[in-house]
Amino acid sequence: MKWMLATAAAITMFFSPSLGQMPPSVEGILQSVFSIVNAPGDKKQEPANNPAEKAKEKPQQAAEKKVDKEKSEKKRISNSEGTSRDQVTETPQKGASEATRDHSDSLQVPEKKGNDEKSGDQKKNSAQDQSQKATKQDQNEGQDQNQSKKPKWEQKADKIIQFGKKFMGTDYKLGAEYNKSGKFDCSSFTQYVYKKHGIKLNRTAGAQAKWDGQPIHDRSKLRKGDLVFFDASRSAKGRYKNIDHVGIYIGNNQILHTYKKGVGVTITKFNGSFWGKQAIMGARVIGDNGEEPH
């Protein structure tokens, strides 16, 4: 369109002497034409109408779009990686928390199991204790029943003997009294255990033989709870029947007594031993009614 306008202007100027101008030369016409064609406003639009320029422009735009696309893709990947890192960071923490919880649970389970086992053991021990108590109670009841069938003198004798056995091993000292020294001599021992069961005895072996109970001269007549007197030193001349030692007959050919430092309260054989040979007499200090004989 611009070329047409330029050509028309050149023709008009050539054939219009009425305008007061001299017919232009060919060179002037060409300059006019070129000035119109090369106007600044036209140059801006030429690239748009020029196929060569368009062809040249397409690869550049494609390259720019490719660069923009790559930048966008990189940005998207970067954002995606950041999100993934956040997720990865959170996931182990969550996993660690769950692992901790699971570990805690796993620790609690054995503890509960241990408590259950402990409770089971306690119940088992309690059941055993109750069974033992029941057995012991039955035994005691059986003993009580058997004891109740025994005569009163034997019941009293059994109690005295069982009490005396509690002092087994208590050391001996001549002239000692248990309340003062924690030791016995032979007569303080018999005096102590009988007194705890309501029977009073004199302090020395000779005095007990002379004044306490009913004399027994036949050893085959001895029964549980009787006193037995001895001439143990074989030098008790001048004493009552030379008696210097006393013990308790507990049946089954045995006596409960104390003698000699380092031996103390003990049980020894009666007949067929030194003590059987040294025995002088006996005395019954428990009557048939379980009390002191009169």
Model pTM above 0.75: no
> Rounded distance, CA 85 to CA 255, Å?
96
Q: What is the pLDDT of residue 100?
A: 43
Q: What is the pLDDT of residue 199?
A: 97
CA-closest candidate to residue 159, choices 143, 170, 172, 171 = 143
Which single residue is written with the structure tokens 């058997």?
146
Query: What are the structure tokens assigned to 114, written together?
Result: 């241990």
Q: What is the pLDDT of residue 240?
A: 83
Whether the per-residue pLDDT at 259 is higher than 80: the answer is yes
**Ramachandran assignment for 252, one of left (phi > 0), alpha (psi -120 to 50 degrees), beta (any other):** left
Whether the per-residue pLDDT at 74 is higher than 80: the answer is no
> Rounded distance, CA 191 to CA 184, Å?
10
Question: 208-219: per-residue pLDDT in tens?
Answer: 999 999 999 999
Question: 2-57: per-residue pLDDT in tens?
Answer: 556 556 555 555 555 444 444 545 455 556 545 654 555 444 444 445 555 555 55
> Rounded distance, CA 14 to CA 290, Å?
178
Comparing 118-122, 198-202, 266-270, the range with the smallest average pLDDT is 118-122
> Can you list the domains of the chain with their CATH numbers?
2-49 (no CATH), 153-284 (3.90.1720.10)
The percentage of the chain sitting over the pLDDT mark of 70, rounded to a whole number, equals 56
Query: Residue 288: which residues within 8 A CB-CB, separation 6 or more?
Result: 151, 152, 153
Mean pLDDT of 243-268: 97
